């Protein structure tokens, strides 16, 4: 599965957010640092209004959304890269995730201790980022001497990875995250970069956790974070974890009413989940029939057999072709048969690159 790791300093609202996300009380929120020690993983449904539209047309009995995972990672403190606090474990856990959801405290509340004794989310972001960069710097410096030596000896693998290592090292020595290399990177280079397994090469989404009465408007702290994120090419979501925790307890009608009184269009978590999904570079394709309409996830750029493989490994092995209808055609024309009649049901082969929203039906040998 695809995983987003929730990180941030202690007491910023990570557990509150995670609990709301998973609607469980498993990761107990408490007003002291280090309350979440073991990483907790929760799977959440990815909200997608297209699925209900498809299901209605296909007269499906069931609707099955696709899912991504969120991992609540133990609180980081200044000095983590030197093993302070739960530093080493924190860094190891972060290595396991595909993207980082970085929660920043943007709410004022004298009853909730701030580890640094002041509310300054931009400085907090830098504190966390610095620990990640120091850890990457140390890990690269440890590895690069050996690779340089091998590259001098014309070792193939060393020659392939060395340029990327040098670029990453130069950034880190300049106190910049390796993530900056992601912009417009070629697929082969991305694979090399991922292979280096650096913490600051993972995409980041900043979550501004604001007070309950600021959920609709945001606040000056959140604006400062947005400005910082824009400089880094990162995105932000403004939510109030406390409100999300309340919404998580309500049924759909009550939640809608509550959102209205707050002046909110939709739950912040739905936005967060969708942004997380984008961050992971994922797209959705659908299968539709009387039994169920279902959303499935593949990485952007995946080909039809890989999509088939998400459903069943046999579908991938025996892949013949995929009847493919674009979402707009499926809904606009009124379903599979109408799309077929209009010539909008394409037969795609093994080289077809799956597009977001494709409604697919796989033909395969067993």
Structure token digits, residue 287: 């299968």
Binding to ligand GDP, residues 101-140 (CB under 6 A): 107, 109, 112
Establish if 209 lies at the interface with ligand GDP (CB under 6 A): yes
Establish if 12 lies at the interface with ligand GDP (CB under 6 A): yes
Is 287 labeled as ligand-binding?
no
**Cβ within 8 Å of residue 49, ≥6 positions away:** none
Question: HSE-up of 275 (CA within 13 Å, CB side)?
Answer: 20
Nearer to ligand GDP, 31 or 337 (CB): 31
Is 88 labeled as ligand-binding?
no
Return the residue of 25, 30, 92, 123 that touches ligand GDP, per CB under 6 A.
30
Question: HSE-up of 115 (CA within 13 Å, CB side)?
Answer: 22
Nearer to ligand GDP, 99 or 245 (CB): 245
Beta carbon of residue 260, minimum distance to ligand GDP (angstroms, whole number): 19
* 243 within 8 A of 272, measured Cβ to Cβ: no
* 138 within 8 A of 81, measured Cβ to Cβ: yes
Binding to ligand GDP, residues 52-81 (CB under 6 A): 75
Nearer to ligand GDP, 16 or 69 (CB): 16
What does the alpha-carbon distance between residue 161 and residue 139 come to, in Å, rounded to a whole number? 15
Nearer to ligand GDP, 162 or 241 (CB): 241
Return the residue of 4, 5, 21, 36 that touches ligand GDP, per CB under 6 A.
36
Binding to ligand GDP, residues 300-339 (CB under 6 A): none
What does the alpha-carbon distance between residue 101 and residue 49 come to, in Å, rounded to a whole number? 23
Return the residue of 128, 137, 198, 242 that touches ligand GDP, per CB under 6 A.
242
Return the residue of 21, 101, 241, 295 that touches ligand GDP, per CB under 6 A.
241
* Ramachandran region, residue 306 (left: φ > 0; alpha: ψ -120 to 50; beta: rest): alpha
Is 5 labeled as ligand-binding?
no
Establish if 8 lies at the interface with ligand GDP (CB under 6 A): yes
Establish if 35 lies at the interface with ligand GDP (CB under 6 A): yes
Return the residue of 4, 7, 13, 125 that touches ligand GDP, per CB under 6 A.
13
Is 15 labeled as ligand-binding?
yes
Binding to ligand GDP, residues 159-188 (CB under 6 A): none
DSSP lists the bridge partners of residue 282 as 299
Structure token digits, residue 199: 């913490």
- Count of chain residues binding ligand GDP (CB under 6 A): 23
- Which of these segments, 40-48, 124-132, 137-145, 205-213, binds ligand GDP (CB under 6 A)? 205-213
Establish if 31 lies at the interface with ligand GDP (CB under 6 A): yes
Site of tokens 């995105």: 235
Annotated binding site for ATP: 11-16
Annotated binding site: 11-16
Q: Which residues of this protein are in contact with ligand GDP, per CB under 6 A?
A: 8, 10-16, 29-31, 35-36, 75, 107, 109, 112, 209, 211-212, 240-242
């Amino acid at each position: 599965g695809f995983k987003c790791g929730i990180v941030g300093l202690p007491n910023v609202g990570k557990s509150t957010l995670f609990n709301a996300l998973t609607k469980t009380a498993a990761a107990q929120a408490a007003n002291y640092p280090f309350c979440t020690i073991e990483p907790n993983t929760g799977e959440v449904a990815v909200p997608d209004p297209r699925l209900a539209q498809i299901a209605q047309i296909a007269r499906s009995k069931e609707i099955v959304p696709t899912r991504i995972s969120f991992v609540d990672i133990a609180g980081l403190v200044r000095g983590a890269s030197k093993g302070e606090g739960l530093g080493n474990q924190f860094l190891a856990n972060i290595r396991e995730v595909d993207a980082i959801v970085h929660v920043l405290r943007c709410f004022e509340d004298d009853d909730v201790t701030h580890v640094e004794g002041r509310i300054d989310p931009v400085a907090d972001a830098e504190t966390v980022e610095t620990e990640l960069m120091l850890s990457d710097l140390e890990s690269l410096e440890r590895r690069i001497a050996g690779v340089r030596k091998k590259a001098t000896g014309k070792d193939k693998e060393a020659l392939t990875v060395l340029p990327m290592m040098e670029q990453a090292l130069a950034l880190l020595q300049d106190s910049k995250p390796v993530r900056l290399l992601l912009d417009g990177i070629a697929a082969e280079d991305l694979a090399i970069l991922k292979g280096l397994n650096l913490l600051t090469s993972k995409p980041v989404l900043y979550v501004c956790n604001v007070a309950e009465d600021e959920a609709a408007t945001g606040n000056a702290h959140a604006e400062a974070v947005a400005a910082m994120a824009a400089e880094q090419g990162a995105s932000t979501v403004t939510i109030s974890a406390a409100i999300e925790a309340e919404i998580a307890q309500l049924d759909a009608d009550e939640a809608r009413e509550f959102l209205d009184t707050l002046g909110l269009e939709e739950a912040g978590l739905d936005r967060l989940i969708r942004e997380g999904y984008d961050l992971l570079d994922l797209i959705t394709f659908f299968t539709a029939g009387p039994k169920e309409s279902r959303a499935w996830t593949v990485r952007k750029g995946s080909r039809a057999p890989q999509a088939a493989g998400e459903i069943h490994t046999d579908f991938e092995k025996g892949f013949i072709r995929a009847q493919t209808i674009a979402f707009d055609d499926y809904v606009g024309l009124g379903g599979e048969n109408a799309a077929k009649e209009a010539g909008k049901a394409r037969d795609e082969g093994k080289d077809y690159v799956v597009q977001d929203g494709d409604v697919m039906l796989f033909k395969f040998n067993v």
